[in-house]
Structure 1
Amino acid sequence: MRRFEDEDLTGAEFRECDLSGARLVGVVMRNAEIDGLVTHLVVNGVEVMPYVEAELDRRHPVRLLIRSDEPADLRQAWRQLREGWATTTKRVRSMPENSEHHSVDGEWSMVETLRHLVFVHDSWFRRCVLGLTEPFTAMGLGPPLVMDRENELEPSARPSLDEVLAVRDRQASGIETWLAEVTPDQLTQTAPVPDDDRWPPYAKGRTVRQCLGTVLDEEWAHHGFCERDLDKLSRQEPASGS
């Protein structure tokens, strides 16, 4: 276990780190941000995550639909997620040219985020929910480990926003068609994950509902990240134009 004592970590950034079981004792933490999979976070003796989750549900009611096991709720969740992305797309088109390709604080740009969701669809819906073994979409963007092992993916791809949106529209149509017919019983069945070593390797044994849930969760989370970064870009615009 690494121990930091009397260290000045002002401005430190921890990216893709596992901080499970970490203890921060006697610390000073002002203007800090935490984004990630956080459970059982105790601050000054208070478990805060139930409050955080409740507030997120209040701000984003679609989260309640995403967690539902009812096909009608899942269809509504998908419609709302798509509407959110449509609004964000309209927003970025009104911003300075190439805003969709700008990265903020080392995060993915909007186009890169959408490319990641193309990959999520291929991985968790097409492969895990449908059980198909078709190659990944070349423009898809996954974690570095995946980009190195999946030969169909092209790390150097530089698609335009419209090119990515065209792929996303085709994928969305497939999900909409499937959701229109899926039954509660089908959602509880074990996902027909292909028996190979392709991504995602840890999906075997999950239900169809769990795999679909990953798609919906990723859509919601990355839309929030994208909106956050566009907000930051918008605040930078006056300074860059002066």
Structure 2
Amino acid sequence: MTDFSEQDLSGSGFQQVDLSGSTFRRADMTDLDIREVNFSGTRVRAAYFDGVRMTGVEVPDMEISGEIVRLVVNGVDVVPLVEAELNRQMPERALMAPTTVDGFREAFAITDRLWGETMGRARELETDQLYEQVDDEWSFIETLRHLGFAHACWIGGVVLAQRSPWHPLDLPWDEAPEFEDVPWARRARPELHEVMALRRQRRNTVAEVLDGLTDAGLDRSVTSATQFMTDATGLTVADCLRVVLNEEWQHRLYAERDLAKLAS
């Protein structure tokens, strides 16, 4: 097996080569020209697709999960259809893009209620199962730890402009850049009650922010106080709250899916 690390292979040609089982991490794959290749069994995670065109492809079985703005399949933009179906399956989802303070309060109350139901199912499992990764994704505990990190980033570090909003149990996403002051204890095994205590603290902080906020205040521009969140420039308080709300919604769905597999 050949290892290519920190090398410039741009412009290279690969013809009649076997790359099966290869791994690509933090690779620049823009403007690739890919023809007559076999992607069967390929796993793509945390990737960015913009302006990608696929023609003459055969897709017997493919699953996509992520933030999709426009996806045209055989001339039809399927995103509005998917959005309508998701909202039909879970009517509460339509309330996850609020524009008023009261709307945010209602949306967070919904996610809290749904997470409460999810936690009830999680408590029926053994502790080791809560640390078990399903399909190489985060475990249930890791999912909760990442939600804590999202709150720290967008509420503590941006909305409240705290320079060090982190808790040792916060868990960044796997591909996040490493900074000295950002926690990175991936092997930590906290008890469920410890993670839940941190979660309650973070949710109380959001409640306090909303209690002191007006609808006009939602449009206030924010700038990150941490070096980690440099991409927050130009966003508003409402933008940051929506990011956290989306994390709450999406990760509960992931947790429900994984809990179902663990319980089966």
Fold similarity call, TM over 0.5: yes
Taking structure 1 as the reference length, the TM-score comes to: 0.89
The answer to whether the Cα contact below 8 Å between 2:149 and 2:166 also exists between their aligned partners in 1 is yes
Please state if 1:65 is matched with 2:95: yes
The 10-residue stretch of structure 1 (226-235 or 157-166) with the greater mean CA deviation from structure 2: 226-235
Match of 1:160 in 2: 191
AA paired with 1:223?
Answer: R
The answer to whether the Cα contact below 8 Å between 2:221 and 2:236 also exists between their aligned partners in 1 is yes
The answer to whether the Cα contact below 8 Å between 1:135 and 1:152 also exists between their aligned partners in 2 is no
CA distance in 2, matches of 1:208, 1:65: 18
Count of residue correspondences: 233
Please state if 1:92 is matched with 2:100: no
- The unaligned stretches of length 5 or more in structure 1 are 236-242
The answer to whether the Cα contact below 8 Å between 1:141 and 1:147 also exists between their aligned partners in 2 is no
1:144 CA drift (Å): 4.1
SS in 2 for 1:182: coil
- Which protein shows a greater Rg? 2
Question: What is the CA RMSD across the aligned residues, in angstroms?
Answer: 1.8
Please state if 1:75 is matched with 2:105: yes
AA paired with 1:5?
Answer: R
CA distance in 2, matches of 1:134, 1:151: 8
Please state if 1:223 is matched with 2:252: yes
CA distance in 2, matches of 1:96, 1:68: 37
CA distance in 2, matches of 1:225, 1:116: 12
Match of 2:74 in 1: 44
AA paired with 2:172?
Answer: G
Q: 1:32 to 1:232 in 2, by over 3 A?
A: farther
CA distance in 2, matches of 1:147, 1:140: 14
Please state if 1:186 is matched with 2:217: yes
The 10-residue stretch of structure 1 (143-152 or 155-164) with the greater mean CA deviation from structure 2: 143-152
Instruction: Give percent identity, aligned residues only.
Output: 34
CA distance in 2, matches of 1:11, 1:41: 21
SS in 1 for 2:222: coil
Equivalent of 2:237, from 208, 215, 235?
208
Equivalent of 2:145, from 115, 118, 133?
115
More helix by share: 1
AA paired with 2:235?
Answer: R
The answer to whether the Cα contact below 8 Å between 2:70 and 2:79 also exists between their aligned partners in 1 is yes
Match of 1:239 in 2: none
CA distance in 1, matches of 2:121, 2:255: 11
1:6 CA drift (Å): 2.3
1:174 CA drift (Å): 1.6
AA paired with 1:106?
Answer: D
Match of 2:58 in 1: 28
The answer to whether the Cα contact below 8 Å between 1:130 and 1:192 also exists between their aligned partners in 2 is no
CA distance in 2, matches of 1:150, 1:120: 18
AA paired with 1:90?
Answer: G
1:192 CA drift (Å): 5.0
- The unaligned stretches of length 5 or more in structure 2 are 1-30
1:205 CA drift (Å): 1.6
1:182 CA drift (Å): 1.6
CA distance in 1, matches of 2:176, 2:46: 15
1:169 CA drift (Å): 0.6
